[in-house]
Amino acid sequence: MMTVVGNNALICRPQLASCCASMKLGILKLQACNCKAKSLGFNITGTEVKTTFLAPVRKTETSRIVHINGKSASSHQPGYNSNDEISANDFSGFPGKSISLTSTNGNSTNIVWHKCSVEKSDRQELLQQRGCVIWITGLSGSGKSTVACALGRCLHARGKLSYILDGDNVRHGLNRDLSFAAEDRTENIRRIGEVAKLFVDAGVICIASLISPYREERDACRASLPEGDFIEVFMDVPLHVCETRDSKGLYKLARAGKIKGFTGIDDPYEPPLKAEIVLRQNQGLCDSPNDFADVVISYLDRNGYLKA
């Protein structure tokens, strides 16, 4: 029986006292244990066998090396091979034999991508759906959050797992340190995009609902995901309609000069150029949130997102 004690010491307690002797394991036969052990640095003393390292739990779970050189790089592709380097799988993680190479990504140095044997495809198979981001963008008051909630209810009713990243909700926690200045809005979008990417990798349908006024930042989120995993939904509601609604009273404050940098008033909104879905008014009257949600559900159905 083997247990872990202290600083990664592997302790083996033989069942029979007669197999205990002070010796080093070469490739030999233990008299009482009737077993063989390779020369792995074990020492037998009294009734214990100790070693200073733990062998890998599973050979399939290895650290994958990714060289990024300060830029984001795709690191979710299965397997790892290089013309110049040896795969970590070749050495099973034993000290002195694996090549410990690290990478740099932005300000993060000496990092290694660890590849797990349970991958995105396995999680999607379990959930019977395809992970994706439904990115709902539009002016304040255009109905983004309302449509997101309606969509979440529709997906839940169909037995599909989704999660909503609402712009205001995220600013209550993860992004509470960010203002509405242009540079902070850029960081706000980047963070939400990274969280959304994790949900996609988990096989979850992530509904991101936020103004996200700048086209460049939305396109950057799209580029960070595999093709087809980012679905842009544009709430095409005119400014005067949004301002008439003004459910939060923010347009009134912006017009009075009490809020600076408000999108649509003194800060620009850049509408999508190639959104997968555009939700707009029908003959001057807005459709219901459920009607808009049905449009998105139909798109997901047609394109195979609601099955593995």
pLDDT tens track for 267-281: 999 999 999 999 997
pLDDT at 301 over 70: yes
81 domain residue, yes or no: no
* CATH (domain of 187): 3.40.50.300
Q: Which amino acid appears at position 287 of this protein? A: D
76-80, 100-104, 177-181 — which is least confidently predicted?
Answer: 76-80
- pLDDT at site 117: 93
Q: How many domains does the chain have?
A: 1
* Residue-level pLDDT at 99: 58
Kind and range of the H or E element at 48? strand 48-51
Structure confidence by residue, pLDDT tens digits, 32-61: 444 444 444 445 555 554 444 444 434 444
pTM of the shown model: 0.68
Mean pLDDT along residues 115-129: 95
Tell me whether residue 232 is in a domain: yes
- Is residue 200 within a helix (H) or strand (E), and if so which, with residue range? helix 182-201
Domain holding 210, by residue range, is: 120-238+269-303
Q: Which sequence positions are flagged as catalytic? A: 212
In a domain, 288, yes or no: yes
- 14 part of a folded domain: no
- Whether the CB-CB separation of 36 and 28 falls below 8 Å is answered with yes
Contact (CB, 8 A) for 84 and 120: no
